[in-house]
A and B are shown apart, each in its own frame.
Chain A
């Protein structure tokens, strides 16, 4: 085991969904360590539990049992308000369908994330560098409908990074993109990881996308089957 500090430490994580009167276990004892600055890909078929783990790590839903330390804080012990607070600063989400607000410009989509977290919509100075890296500085005043899928996903990445989160959580970030744009977005994620040391946890079906990561873990039936 490396001496580098862990940014995610998951132990015996269980999550059970109640569907009517039936209990559906989504996670059955997940254990996982992610080092600060690591680019990790989680690969698995549908229903393997990878999205559930993604949602728990991101503070979108609480676990049923187990512990999930994110940047030293246990998500399992957090209240709704504390998880909301965590989403502001500790994690940034990138979704398969971009999830940009359609009525706002690209800039305002980024600014609102800043406003929610810091109360001011203005990004700080070094964020300009990230925009240059993402190659969208000249497209910021367009609305999502006027941007290509690749551009929208890059805006979504910028939005996820505007508050300098400890972890970037990417859920199938290339799922809606063609191969050229997929390659561009994956290269960007790798660059962000290498240049600014951004920790990235990426969920994907695609082995080629997973190959961009430092490490790949496989999930099946709510468990990690290799690491």
Chain B
């Protein structure tokens, strides 16, 4: 559970960062007061793009509206021509560019998950959209619609969620950012490297706390499962404990056997858990590749194993102590 949650968190953040890089922008600009990573609506005036275009070294300035449609899924409104110029263009697997205001372009993962093809009709935001194309994933968004359509639908005519700048030379990025920051004091202005570096667990509000809650739950569940299993096992093995005592086994010897057995089972369980994360990753990437992305997180394997081991050994301590303190004669008489 722990590895899957961490894998999903890191996988989705990495996927978002990869798609952000795929936009091809050198500078990202978000409106004042917005979080770097978030699903805020569109409080930035579209006219600001003209201001950006007048700045030295800026070759392309375009923007998008991002609208949440449930869960972590969003639909993104783009100026198709400008965005294609900036990103190097979409690679079409089916269909082609927008032809009408109700067109939608989906990426291959979404198409695979929802089993849609160019020419199909899908319903999003209580509206039917004509699937114009299926494109390779990795260019900013999974669901792309014309910018004007989404602005009107969401009541954000003339506004943008974020803006992207393409420079004549990426080495000018710092210079342009300094200039923009001096002129637009409250705006969030990032280089692409800086922006994608923000896609980490610590920069998503509540995510680290959520992971800690999951780790806590894992420890509690591990503790309870081991405690109850071992408590039952000790009861079932009362006679065996009596036999060991008759052979001269000390309480420490019996406790040692039980704790070693617990540790061995926990290690085996951890290996099984690691193998299962490959199973969940396969299931996620096969059945819901557009909604979730799970990463394999080997650096968490020893951490998860250590946490499981600690929970299990704490859970084993009382049943083990109880077994070790059993009266030998009563234990031998146990049926």
Name A's B-contacting residues (CB within 8 A).
55, 58, 60-61, 81, 84-89, 93, 95, 99-102, 112-113, 116-117, 159
Contact = CB atoms under 8 A, between A and B. Distances in A.
B247 A60 contact: no
Interface string B227-262: 000000000000110111111111001000000000
B329 interface: yes
The SS class assigned to the B binding surface is helix
Contacts of A95: 246, 332
Contacts, number: 50
A101 B249 CA distance: 14
11 contacts: A60-B329, A60-B332, A61-B327, A81-B250, A85-B248, A86-B248, A88-B247, A99-B246, A101-B240, A112-B247, A117-B248
Contact of B246 (A58, A85, A89): A58
A95 B250 CA distance: 20
Contacts of A116: 244, 247-249, 253
Given A60-B329, A61-B329, A99-B332, A84 B250 contact: yes
Question: Considering the complex of A and B, which 10 residue pairs feature the smallest CB-CB distances, nearest first?
Answer: A88-B248, A87-B248, A113-B247, A99-B243, A60-B328, A93-B246, A116-B249, A116-B247, A84-B250, A116-B248
Interface residues of B, number: 16
A150 B151 CA distance: 89
Given A99-B239, A101-B240, A87 B247 contact: yes
Q: Which of A55, A84, A113, A159 has the most CB of B within 10 A?
A: A84
A123 B332 CA distance: 25
Contacts of B245: 60, 84, 87
Nearest to A114: B247
Nearest to A100: B243
B252 to A, nearest CB: 10
A101 B329 CA distance: 16
Contact of A87 (B240, B246, B329, B332): B246
Contacts of A85: 248
Contacts of B328: 60-61
A108 to B, nearest CB: 13
B196 to A, nearest CB: 55
Interface in B309-335: 327-329, 332
